[in-house]
Amino acid sequence: MSLNASRRRAAAALTAALLVPLTACGNSGDGEKKGGAGASSSASAEPKAVNLTVLAASSLTDVFNAAGAAYEKSHPGTKITFSYAGSQELAAQVKQGAPADALATADTKTMDGLRAETGEAKVIAKNRLVIATGKGNPFKVDDLKDLADGKIKVVLAAPEVPVGRYSREILDKQGVTVKPVSQEPNVRAVLSKVELGEADAGLVYKTDSAKSGDKVAAVDIPDDQNVVASYPAATLKQSKNAAAAAAFLAWLSTPEAQKIFQEAGFQQP
């Protein structure tokens, strides 16, 4: 074999040896690319994070907090923030364009006034009123007529508030005249006045009175003297998460959600 031939064979062997690690590196790169694509696919399969804002009547505070926690647990990626106030305040916020995705009020009248701003409303729960008195019912209030006693300080919600409107409807139906010591912006404020002893009695929802425990005594109002409060809920047309908001509202009518409402003392819609 000539010297040149020997050199050519040595060069070829060296080239082959150098290409082996390069090929291995090339295969490793392909594997990384495949792994990267798989990781991307896996990430895209994860639920899209959604933050919902729900405006809700004050009397829904406790039950919505419980319902929201249950919904978030079964729907990973969805976070719900509730904003509570009197229904009339919520209506004003909606008309002013407050950023939110859904609304739940304590009466159909308020919701009906927002048809231009909401989707189709559906009643998700119902409620009734009771007379809340101080702990132990010191004035021995037995029925609505007792509230006309000038010695008893009665507090009601303002007329524009659903519970305030319901209260006056009940009292008017029984011909009972009450001069409230104050008119509050929502049912929780009425209940607070009674709890703190700033009022002797007030008309509140049954569910709010029950949540107060032994801080107040509840006097039932007979069905034929009472009213049924309906709670409609609807998506807001301004929502940027319309599908997610609609899904949450639809869930509120499921057996799982309705069980939470019933345990809180609400009636079925």
Give dist(CA 59, CA 207) in Å, integer: 8
pLDDT value of residue 73: 97
The whole-angstrom separation of Cα 169 and Cα 156 is 12
Task: Fill in the amino acid letter for 140.
Answer: K
Q: With CA atoms as reference, report the closest residue to 65 among 78, 83, 77.
A: 83
Evaluate if residue 6 carries a pLDDT over 90: no
Distance (Å, whole) CA 269 – CA 39 = 46
| pLDDT, position 213 | 85
pLDDT of residue 200: 97
Looking at residue 9, what is its pLDDT? Answer: 52
Give pLDDT tens digits for 31-60.
444 444 444 444 445 557 999 999 999 999
Cα 121-122-124 angle, rounded to 5 deg:
135
The whole-number average pLDDT for the span 180-184 is 97
Q: Where does the chain show beta strands of DSSP type E?
A: 50-57, 78-85, 102-104, 122-127, 129-134, 154-157, 182-184, 201-205, 216-220, 229-235
Same fold, 50-126+231-263 and 129-225: yes
CA distance 56 to 86: 8
CATH topology assigned to domain 129-225: D-Maltodextrin-Binding Protein; domain 2 (3.40.190)
pLDDT of residue 42: 41
Q: What is the pLDDT of residue 21?
A: 42
What confidence score (pLDDT) does residue 253 get? 97
Half-sphere exposure of 24 (CA within 13 A, CB side): 6
User: H or E stretch including 206?
Assistant: helix 206-211
- Average of per-residue pLDDT across 124-128: 98
What are the boundaries of each domain within the chain?
50-126+231-263, 129-225
First to last CA, the chain: 101
Q: How far apart are the C-alpha atoms of 190 and 182, rounded to whole Å?
A: 9
Q: Select the more confidently predicted residue: 14 or 137.
A: 137
Query: Is the pLDDT confidence value at 186 over 50?
Result: yes
Residue 240, token pair as written in the block: 């940027």
Q: Are 107 and 79 in contact (CB under 8 A)?
A: no
Q: What is the DSSP letter of 236?
A: B
CATH T-level topology, domain 50-126+231-263: D-Maltodextrin-Binding Protein; domain 2 (3.40.190)
Q: Answer whether 182's CB lies under 8 Å from 199's CB.
A: yes
When computed from its CA atoms, the radius of gyration of the chain, rounded to whole angstroms, is 32
pTM (predicted TM-score): 0.81
- Tens digits of residue pLDDT in 206-263: 999 998 888 999 999 999 999 999 999 999 999 999 999 999 999 999 999 999 999 9
As a whole number, mean pLDDT of residues 95-116 equals: 97
- List, in order, residues 6 or more apart from 245 with CB less than 8 Å away: 52, 54, 101, 102, 235, 236, 239
